[in-house]
Amino acid sequence: MLWWKEAKLGLFIHWGVYAIPGGEWSGNQEKHPFLGAEWMMAYRKIPVAEYRKLAQQFHPAKFDAGSWVLAAKNAGMKYIVLTAKHHDGFALFDSAVSDFDVVDATPFKRDIVKELAEACQKHGMKLGLYYSQAQDWTHRGGAVSSFVKPWDESHAGNFDEYVDQVAVPQVKEILGKYGPIAVIWWDTPQDMTPEIAAKFQTALTAQPGIIQNSRLINSTPGDFRVFEGDVPVGGVPGTPWEVCVMMNGSWGYSRVHHEWASSTKLIRQLIHTASLGGNYLLNVGPDADGAFPPEAVERLAQIGDWMRANGEAIYGTSGFPMKKLWQQGRITQKPGKLFACVFLWPSDGKLTIPVLAGVKSVVLLAQPDKPLPFTMDDAGIVVEVGRGMPDPRATVLVLEIEGKATAAGFLPALDADVSGAFDLLAAYAVPVGADPSKPAVIVGKREGTSPPLTGDPAEGFKLGGFATPQERAAWRIRVPKAGQYRVVAYAGLNKGMPGDATIQVHAAGQTLQKVLPVTGDSQTFRPLEIGTLSFDAPGEHEVAVSLDLKGAATSGGQIWRVQLLPQSPSK
């Protein structure tokens, strides 16, 4: 699976007859992330006979396999994973064991898997197929997630018969009829036993080099582990893994979901994933006409634009996990080289990379002929990168190194951004005070939440659990010159919390305090002016934050970020 480890970036395609309702069913807009799209049948408990009729409307006149493959290729993607059959049982290929497939049940009558396989062959793209081996809501006996419960008489059928008569034969079809298939992507291993799993394994012999994910049966790991949406904290050392990610809050096409992630966020997520050694499988849900949504097309083009210039920092690299998450960027490596992918450019042009290594040279990936001056000490590598960030999405520095590089055990103080401001995000705070072995200040909404990459409130991680104002969360910052900063905190307070709860910001011997207004709940953050901090001298300072909830429930107040905005332009 060497090709897969080097590939790093792939395209996930969720497509089926559910693209026709596209998030709307009998006049209702369904906003649930997956129930509202490819799970619509289960969510709305649509009877099998009624759901099957959707196929009669499936006529994707704009479908062109070649343009899909080229969109992926131009985005720098090395493989595609298409839902050959999702839980609704509709097959995007001509199946001899079912008539609920694109050739038998639709007026379109073209074998999508065949056309995509041919286009992939033509353009040198690896093809993987997603196959829902256990859940199948339209074939008698197929499993139905305990999450939704059976709703149709046919769900009472026999699972073994479904496996023998539909699922295993269909897996043989997709692996036997369409040339090389590089990946099989199983999903939701409900009701799988080792005996049943073995039947699927036997079917794989048709494709000697095929690799499979970890979702055939819970007890076996497969060739690579999969995660959804959230990049696992610290990666999965020693195990190949992949994270699949939606662009807009839905896998299957949905005209209801418009939460399109910015291309910068997607690019940074890819970098973050690579820095932890994983693969990034980015999803598109084509519409009922067979077209990628324009927002997806635009994002794929942006990713491709970045990858064409910076692919060397991603393809074929290994991860370089940091001991503590570095807010200003992420690092990947190849033998003899480190790639520092910078998200936050220092306002004074001096970047500290928290890595200990014998560095021979540093250049911008985009300007390999211009060596950048640098110094090394036990705080890391300080590079004179100059002012102004060349690529605001992420700018890559290439460090040529000798011997082994290790991540520094502590973080460098955070630099001001190009506007001179400091953005202190919860995810990058360090708890201080109280009992350091069990910090009362929790960083993180839940384990596994992806860290913020662009400062978007949806990106998890808040500070909470402030039992007393002695518990604090702190950041170290590097102030470029003496001056005053306006302090704005984003905090939330539940209804019913004491009206005199306060937030404190402590720095340079000053404590600012403000009454915290109720925002409705602790996860609804509003900017609050806290006051003005002055730093008499440039250099490193600690900024800490605390909440005084007047003895009320510690879960009632949370902080997401604190911003220090320069009072007068610092240039």
Q: Which residues bind ligand JFZ (CB under 6 A)?
A: 34, 38-39, 187-188, 228, 244, 251
Q: Please state the closest distance from residue 63 (CB atom) to ligand JFZ, in A.
A: 20
Q: Which of 132, 522 has the CB closer to ligand JFZ?
A: 132
Closer of 34 and 490 to ligand JFZ (Cβ): 34
Neighbours of 404 (CB within 10 A): 8
- Of 228 and 298, nearer to ligand JFZ (C-beta) is 228
Beta-carbon contacts of residue 77 (< 8 Å; ≥ 6 apart): 9, 10, 11, 125, 282
In whole angstroms, the minimum distance from the beta carbon of 312 to ligand JFZ comes to 30
Question: Is-contact 556 464, C-beta < 8 A?
Answer: no
**Closest by Cα among 395, 454, 71 to 264:** 454
Min separation Cβ 281 and ligand JFZ, Å: 9
Q: Which residues pair with 256 in a beta bridge?
A: none
User: 39 or 159: whose CB is closer to ligand JFZ?
Assistant: 39
- Residues 82 and 127: beta-carbon distance below 8 Å: yes
Q: Which is nearer to ligand JFZ, 39 or 326 (CB)?
A: 39
Q: Whose Cβ is closer to ligand JFZ: residue 438's or residue 446's?
A: 446
Q: How near is the Cβ of 162 to ligand JFZ at its closest, in Å?
A: 18
In the complex, least distance from residue 472 CB atom to ligand JFZ, rounded to whole angstroms: 34
Least distance to ligand JFZ, CB of residue 388, Å: 40
Closest CA to 293 of 15, 10, 8, 24: 15
DSSP state, residue 213: B
Q: What is the 3-state secondary structure (H, E, C) of 504-566?
A: EEEECCEEEEEECCCCECCCCCEEEEEEEEEECCCEEEEEEEEEECCCCCHHHEEEEEEEEEE
Q: Which is nearer to ligand JFZ, 386 or 448 (CB)?
A: 448
Q: What is the rounded CA–CA span in Å between residue 494 and residue 511?
A: 24
From the CB of 186, what's the least distance to ligand JFZ, in Å?
10
Residue 39 or 343 with smaller CB distance to ligand JFZ:
39
CA distances (Å), origin 335, targets 319, 365, 398, 400, 403 = 12, 16, 12, 9, 9
To ligand JFZ, the closest distance from the beta carbon of 39 in angstroms equals: 6
Among the listed residues 427, 441, 396, the one whose alpha carbon sits nearest the alpha carbon of residue 554: 441
